[in-house]
A and B are shown apart, each in its own frame.
Chain A
Amino acid sequence: MGRRAPFGVFAISAFILKRLALSLVTLVLLSAIVFGVGQVLPGSVGRLLLGPFADQRAVDALNTSLGLDRPLLVQYGDWIWGFVQGDMGRSYMYEAPVRPFVVEALGNSLKLAAVAFVIVVPAAIAGGVIAALNYNRPIDRIISIGGLTMTVLPEFVTGIILILIFGVWLKWLPISAAWPDGAGAFTQIYYLILPSMPLILVLFGYIARMARSGMIEALDSDWTRTAVLKGLPWRLVIWRHVLRNALLPTITVIATQTGYLIGGLVVVETLFRYQGIGLLVFTAAKGKDIPMLLAGILVIGIVYTFTTLIADLLYAVFNPRIRLGALS
Chain B
Amino acid sequence: MRDEAENALELDDLSVAYRVGGIDRLVLRNVSFRIARGEAYGLVGESGCGKSTAAYSVARYLPRNGSVTGGHVRLDGKDIMGLGTEELRRVRAERLSTVYQDPGKALNPSIRIGRQVAEVFEIGGASAEEARARTLGMLEKVQISDPPRVMQSYPHQLSGGMQQRVGIAMALANDPSMLILDEPTTGLDATVEAEVLDLIGHLRRELSISVLFISHNLAIVSRMCDRVGVLYAGMLVEEGPTDRVFGAPRHPYTVALLRCLPRGGRRKSSGQLDTIPGFLPGIGAIGDGCAFADRCGLVVDRCRVERPPLYDLGGQMSRCHFHDRAQSLPHTTLKAPSESKPSAIGRPVLRVQGLNKTYGRRGSGGVVAVKDLSLDLPAGQTLGLVGESGSGKTSFARTLLGLTEPDEGGHIELEGKELAPRVEERSFEQAKSLQIIFQNPDSALNRSHSVRSLIGRALRRLGGFRGADMDRRLEELASAVRLTEHHLSVSPRQLSGGLKQRVAIARAFAGDPRVVVCDEPTSALDVSVQAAILNLLAELQSERGVSYIFISHDLGVVRYLSDQVVVLYLGRVMEYGPSEEVFSGPQHPYTEALLSAASDIGEPEGGRIRLDGEIPSAAAPPSGCAFHTRCPRRIGSICDDVDPELVEARSGHAIRCHIPPDELAALQTRRPSAPSQKMSPERSDDHGRP
Q: Are B160 and A231 in contact (CB under 8 A)?
A: no
Shortest CB–CB separation between residue B388 and chain A, in angstroms?
13
Contact with A along B599-624 (1 / 0, CB 8 A): 00000000000000011010110000
**Which of B104-112, B253-261, B303-311, B441-449 forms part of the interface with chain A?**
B104-112
- What are the residues of chain B within 8 A of A240 when measuring CB–CB? 111, 119
Given known A222-B105, A222-B106, A320-B154, contact A230–B120 (CB-CB < 8 A):
yes
Q: Are A229 and B59 in contact (CB under 8 A)?
A: yes
| Chain A 290-313 residues near chain B, CB threshold 8 A | none
Q: Are A226 and B162 in contact (CB under 8 A)?
A: no
Shortest CB–CB separation between residue B22 and chain A, in angstroms?
14
Q: Are A223 and B158 in contact (CB under 8 A)?
A: no
Contact with B along A195-237 (1 / 0, CB 8 A): 0000000000000000000000000011101111111111000
| Chain A 309-328 residues near chain B, CB threshold 8 A | 318-321, 324-326
The CA-CA distance from A48 to B207 in the complex, in Å, is 90
Given known A3-B620, A326-B156, contact A229–B108 (CB-CB < 8 A):
no
| Chain B 344-366 residues near chain A, CB threshold 8 A | none
Q: Are B123 and A232 in contact (CB under 8 A)?
A: yes
Q: Are B92 and A324 in contact (CB under 8 A)?
A: no
Q: Are A229 and B98 in contact (CB under 8 A)?
A: yes
- What are the residues of chain A within 8 A of B158 when measuring CB–CB? 1-2
Given known A223-B105, A231-B123, A233-B89, contact A2–B110 (CB-CB < 8 A):
no
**Residue B61 contacts which of A5, A228, A248 (CB distance < 8 angstroms)?**
A228
The CA-CA distance from A234 to B159 in the complex, in Å, is 30
Q: Are A221 and B157 in contact (CB under 8 A)?
A: no
Asked if B94 CB lies within 8 Å of chain A CBs, one says yes
Q: Are A321 and B61 in contact (CB under 8 A)?
A: no
| Chain A 275-294 residues near chain B, CB threshold 8 A | none
Asked if B102 CB lies within 8 Å of chain A CBs, one says yes
Q: Are A225 and B61 in contact (CB under 8 A)?
A: yes
**Residue B109 contacts which of A3, A232, A321 (CB distance < 8 angstroms)?**
A321
**Residue B100 contacts which of A4, A226, A232 (CB distance < 8 angstroms)?**
A226
- What are the residues of chain A within 8 A of B61 when measuring CB–CB? 225, 228-229
Q: Are B617 and A2 in contact (CB under 8 A)?
A: yes
| Most A CB within 10 A of own CB, among B110, B123, B174, B620 | B110
Asked if B244 CB lies within 8 Å of chain A CBs, one says no
The CA-CA distance from A318 to B154 in the complex, in Å, is 12
Asked if B341 CB lies within 8 Å of chain A CBs, one says no
Q: Are B156 and A321 in contact (CB under 8 A)?
A: yes
Shortest CB–CB separation between residue A230 and chain B, in angstroms?
6
Q: Are B92 and A231 in contact (CB under 8 A)?
A: yes
| Most B CB within 10 A of own CB, among A5, A232, A245, A326 | A232
Given known A222-B102, A225-B61, A233-B89, contact A2–B159 (CB-CB < 8 A):
yes
Asked if A171 CB lies within 8 Å of chain B CBs, one says no
Given known A228-B92, A229-B59, contact A319–B105 (CB-CB < 8 A):
no
CB nearest neighbor in B for A5: B157
The CA-CA distance from A232 to B174 in the complex, in Å, is 12
| Chain B 44-72 residues near chain A, CB threshold 8 A | 59, 61, 64
Shortest CB–CB separation between residue B2 and chain A, in angstroms?
16
Asked if A47 CB lies within 8 Å of chain B CBs, one says no
Q: Are B614 and A2 in contact (CB under 8 A)?
A: yes
What is the number of residues of chain A that contact chain B, defined by CB distance less than 8 Å? 31
- What are the residues of chain B within 8 A of A231 when measuring CB–CB? 89-94, 120, 123, 174
CB nearest neighbor in A for B60: A229
- What are the residues of chain A within 8 A of B504 when measuring CB–CB? none
- What are the residues of chain A within 8 A of B160 when measuring CB–CB? 1
Given known A223-B106, A232-B119, A232-B123, contact A324–B157 (CB-CB < 8 A):
yes
Shortest CB–CB separation between residue A238 and chain B, in angstroms?
13
**Residue A223 contacts which of B85, B107, B153, B156 (CB distance < 8 angstroms)?**
B107
- What are the residues of chain A within 8 A of B98 when measuring CB–CB? 226, 229
Q: Are A3 and B617 in contact (CB under 8 A)?
A: yes
| Most A CB within 10 A of own CB, among B59, B119, B620 | B119
CB nearest neighbor in B for A226: B106
Asked if B626 CB lies within 8 Å of chain A CBs, one says no
Asked if A90 CB lies within 8 Å of chain B CBs, one says no
The CA-CA distance from A294 to B631 in the complex, in Å, is 68
- What are the residues of chain A within 8 A of B105 when measuring CB–CB? 221-223
- What are the residues of chain A within 8 A of B64 when measuring CB–CB? 135
Shortest CB–CB separation between residue B184 and chain A, in angstroms?
13
Asked if A273 CB lies within 8 Å of chain B CBs, one says no
- What are the residues of chain A within 8 A of B474 when measuring CB–CB? none
- What are the residues of chain B within 8 A of A3 when measuring CB–CB? 157, 617, 619-620
Q: Are B159 and A1 in contact (CB under 8 A)?
A: yes
CB nearest neighbor in B for A231: B93
Asked if A19 CB lies within 8 Å of chain B CBs, one says no
Q: Are B92 and A245 in contact (CB under 8 A)?
A: no
Asked if B170 CB lies within 8 Å of chain A CBs, one says yes
Shortest CB–CB separation between residue A6 and chain B, in angstroms?
11
- What are the residues of chain B within 8 A of A225 when measuring CB–CB? 61, 100, 106
The CA-CA distance from A303 to B123 in the complex, in Å, is 46
- What are the residues of chain B within 8 A of A318 when measuring CB–CB? 110
| Chain A 1-30 residues near chain B, CB threshold 8 A | 1-5
**Residue A230 contacts which of B119, B156, B615 (CB distance < 8 angstroms)?**
B119
Shortest CB–CB separation between residue B163 and chain A, in angstroms?
9
CB nearest neighbor in A for B108: A223
Asked if B181 CB lies within 8 Å of chain A CBs, one says no
Given known A222-B102, A231-B94, A231-B174, contact A319–B614 (CB-CB < 8 A):
no
Asked if A244 CB lies within 8 Å of chain B CBs, one says yes
Contact with A along B126-157 (1 / 0, CB 8 A): 00000000000000000000000100011011
- What are the residues of chain A within 8 A of B157 when measuring CB–CB? 2-5, 324-325
Q: Are A226 and B123 in contact (CB under 8 A)?
A: no
The CA-CA distance from A232 to B619 in the complex, in Å, is 40
- What are the residues of chain A within 8 A of B156 when measuring CB–CB? 1, 320-321, 325-326
Q: Are A230 and B92 in contact (CB under 8 A)?
A: yes
- What are the residues of chain B within 8 A of A324 when measuring CB–CB? 154, 157
**Can you show 20 pairs from A to B with CB atoms below 8 A apart?**
A1-B156, A1-B159, A2-B617, A3-B620, A4-B149, A223-B105, A223-B107, A226-B107, A228-B92, A229-B96, A231-B89, A231-B92, A232-B89, A232-B119, A232-B123, A241-B111, A245-B110, A319-B110, A320-B156, A326-B156
Q: List the 6 closest pairs (A to B, CB-CB), nearest first.
A: A231-B93, A2-B159, A231-B92, A222-B105, A320-B154, A223-B108
Binding site for A on B (CB under 8 A): 59, 61, 64, 85, 89-94, 96-98, 100, 102, 105-111, 119-120, 123, 149, 153-154, 156-160, 162, 170, 174, 614-615, 617, 619-620
